[in-house]
Amino acid sequence: MLHKTKGIVINFIKYRETSIIVRIYTQLFGLQSYIINGVRTKNSKSTKIALFQPLTLLELVVYHKNKDQIQRISEVKCIHPLISVPYQTKKSAIALFIAEIMYKTLKDAHENAPLFDFIINSIITLDDLKEHYENHHLIFLIQLSAYLGFEPSSIHDISHEVRNPQEESILNDNEKQGLSKLILADYHTMVKITNQGRRLLLEEILTFYHYHLDGIRPVKSVSVLNEVLQD
């Protein structure tokens, strides 16, 4: 049976000689894998594989069977071309990080409209922002945790689960203040954080994620993200 749904590309892997298997977080069916045949041949249109780059926003017509691990796509088109993310180094690094976090945290194959809307709005906002987006990935992690069931209400919630009370925090007072502001911030809020502070906050928040979720570590894109954002 055919279904029309929106989707957010997470990643793809090569399959056999000419195909790929693409992971897409869909509006109707949650996380799904789709096989796309013939996109890696010399005669295939180069624009077709471009549709399956991380965080591409798609409109899909798909075949769906609940028992199948790999589904098929009947029709696909981009519904909101990203203008700046693919071409700005910092935004691209943030986008790859978000895609990896999606891959490691979104496991359910069922509809979750609020979560889908949050992610797609996060991507579009990143693309639209002209400045002050260096904290976007930190705010994304904090807000995503609410949809995953472990939202911190304050910095103390994170600190309590990251380390024992006897352990010294890796954050100084300014960084703790920055984290407190980020917990309450949206993507348009400007929070001044040093590059070093941003790296430490990311480490702190990912440790918080690791406490709640198995398999969140290691996040491979962190090293690239930290390097790019220090410029």
The residue that leads in pLDDT, 42 or 62, is: 62
Q: What is the CATH number of the domain that holds 46?
A: 2.40.50.140
Any domain includes 19: yes
pLDDT digit string, tens, across residues 108-153: 888 999 999 999 999 999 999 999 999 999 999 999 999 999 999 9
Do residue 12 and residue 109 come from a single domain? no
Tell me the percentage of the chain whose pLDDT exceeds 90: 77
Do residue 105 and residue 214 come from a single domain? yes
Do residue 69 and residue 114 come from a single domain? no
Question: Roughly what angle, to the nearest 10 degrees, separates helices 136-148 and 89-105?
Answer: 20
Any domain includes 84: no
* pLDDT category of residue 231 using cuts at 50, 70 and 90: low
Do residue 57 and residue 101 come from a single domain? no
Do residue 126 and residue 193 come from a single domain? yes
* Domain residue limits at 14: 2-78
* Total number of domains in the chain: 2
Q: Who contacts 75 (Cβ-Cβ below 8 Å, separation ≥6)?
A: 60, 61
**Cβ neighbour number for residue 30 with a 10 Å cutoff:** 17
* pLDDT category of residue 49 using cuts at 50, 70 and 90: confident
Do residue 148 and residue 41 come from a single domain? no
Q: What is the CATH number of the domain that holds 191?
A: 1.20.1440.120
Whether 47 shows a pLDDT value over 60: the answer reads no
**Cβ neighbour number for residue 29 with a 10 Å cutoff:** 20
Do residue 98 and residue 59 come from a single domain? no
Do residue 104 and residue 217 come from a single domain? yes
Do residue 133 and residue 222 come from a single domain? yes
For the chain, the maximum distance between any two Cα atoms, rounded to a whole number of angstroms, is: 63
pLDDT digit string, tens, across residues 179-195: 999 999 999 999 999 99
